[in-house]
Every structure is written in C-alpha cells, then in structure tokens.
Amino acid sequence: MVSECANPGCGAQFLYFGEGKLVVVRRQQASPDQAKVEFFWLCGDCATHLNLEIPSNGIPHVVPRQPMSELLTA
C-alpha cells in the first residue's frame, strides 16, 4: 500500500490519487503465478522534477527528470 511520496526527502502523505505519478512494479517470484505487485507514488510537486527508477537490483530511487529540450534533441 502506498502511504507517502517515494521521494525520501519529501514525506507528502498519500491520501487519494488526484495528482502526481503512480508507478506499478511487478516483481517476479519463484513462479509467474506468484508475481508480486508493488506501487510507488511521487506527489504532484516531486513528479514535476523527478522520476522514479527501478534498476535491476529492484531498489527504487528518484532521479532528476530531463528537461523537455534535452528529450527533443536526443
């Protein structure tokens, strides 16, 4: 269950989904029918300048968003 913003420096409480970014991560277990689903949420303020990355080690962390100008020139 999501209780607060995934940004460790924020602490905004998740009361309802009206703004922000919800990230769903499906984790594989011993067999496909035992898959586990986890939810992470970035509040509206944090979602404007951060993204949530889930690397191969499975530990989520926040990273700065790329400015739109960098995305268009890439």
What predicted TM-score, i.e. pTM, was given to this entire model?
A: 0.74
Per domain, the residue ranges of the chain are 21-73
pLDDT, tens only, 29-66: 766 677 788 899 999 999 999 999 988 887 889 999 88
Asked whether the beta carbons of 37 and 25 are under 8 A apart, the reply is yes
Residue 12: CB atoms within 10 A of its CB come to 16
